[in-house]
Amino acid sequence: MNSVDRQLAKLGLELPETNPPQGNYRPFVRAGSLLFIAGQGPRKGGELVFKGIVGDTVTLEDALQAARLCALNIVTHVKTACDGDFDKVKGFVRLAGLVRCAAEFEDQAKVLNAASDLICELFGERGPHARIASGTHALPSGMAVEIEAVVELVN
């Protein structure tokens, strides 16, 4: 068992099954040593778990859980892209996240911290990354949070 799988077990977390793309795109693409993970919503078993507007119909606590679920979906795609071998991950490069939020909501960074913190807990020194956290008035399917990632792989 590799270090990421051990950390998942230690945290009592399981990776969700791979969610199918919701359109005409690939869930991830490798370009050289970079792995681009398409935007992941808070889906589990193909079902949207967190839907609504953060700061209105979705609480900050639920938004944090939504961001963690997005991060777990990202990690699931990383595992698939690496044929199950997390040792192929050199490091996370960037997370970019959108929070569907009320106009007065200003805690987008707090929401994305939940995803960043989980990635760092799972990958240790390979986890820290650059990041952007933005707010928006709408996301596909009404999801509350969507996060994409860029990961560097060992050649």
The CATH number covering residue 36 comes to 3.30.1330.40
pLDDT of residue 138: 97
Could you list the pLDDT tens digit for every one of the 155 residues in the chain?
689 999 999 999 999 998 888 889 999 999 999 999 999 999 998 899 999 999 999 999 999 999 999 999 999 999 999 999 999 999 999 999 999 999 999 999 999 999 999 999 999 999 999 999 999 999 999 999 999 999 999 98
pLDDT of residue 97: 98
CA-CA distance, 60 to 109, in Å (whole number)?
11
Task: Read off the tokens for 37.
Answer: 């993970």
- SS3 (DSSP) at 126: helix
Domain that holds residue 51: 3-153
CA-CA distance, 155 to 152, in Å (whole number)?
9
Residues 4, 122: contact at Cβ < 8 Å? yes
5 contact partners, CB below 8 Å, separation of at least 6: 86
The reported pTM is: 0.96
pLDDT of residue 116: 98
Residue 15 is given by DSSP the state P
Number of structural domains the chain divides into = 1
pLDDT of residue 22: 80
Residues 144, 99: contact at Cβ < 8 Å? yes
